Amino acid sequence: MDTINTIDLTNARYMVKAVEKTTTPDGCDGNNWYRYVLERNGSTLVGQRQGTLNQVTRYAEELAEDVNSRSGGNGPSQWSSRNKK
């Protein structure tokens, strides 16, 4: 009999995988740019932000919490209509 592998995303959460120094992006000014990586079950979110290592790490942690709260499956979709018909 064939089996189907499924991934249970109910407990899967984005976590900060890395925060590392990077070069200033084209068209941007300033120093101290960092690249952050968030991961969850093979899904990856990557971004860049200016600041200190601690500031960018804190930002990445808060972003992971925010994304997790939006995809937690608790309640209606963020984009669904709230009007009852």
Domain that holds residue 25: 15-69
Radius of gyration of the chain (CA): 17
Q: Using the CB atoms, write b or e for 55-79: b if 16+ within 10 Å.
A: ebbebbbebbeebeeebeeeeeeee
Write out 20-34 in H/E/C secondary structure.
EEECCCCCCCCCCEE
Q: Please, which residues bridge with residue 50 across strands?
A: 33
* Encoded amino acid at 78, one letter: Q
Select the more confidently predicted residue: 76 or 36. 36
Confidence tier at 17 by pLDDT (50, 70, 90) = very high
Residue 63 lies in a domain: yes
pLDDT in the model for residue 70: 85
Q: What share of the chain has pLDDT > 70, as a percent? A: 71
Structural domains of the chain, count: 1
Residue 9 lies in a domain: no
Residue 28 lies in a domain: yes
Q: What are the tens digits of pLDDT across the range 25-49?
A: 999 998 899 999 999 988 999 999 9
H or E stretch including 39? strand 33-40
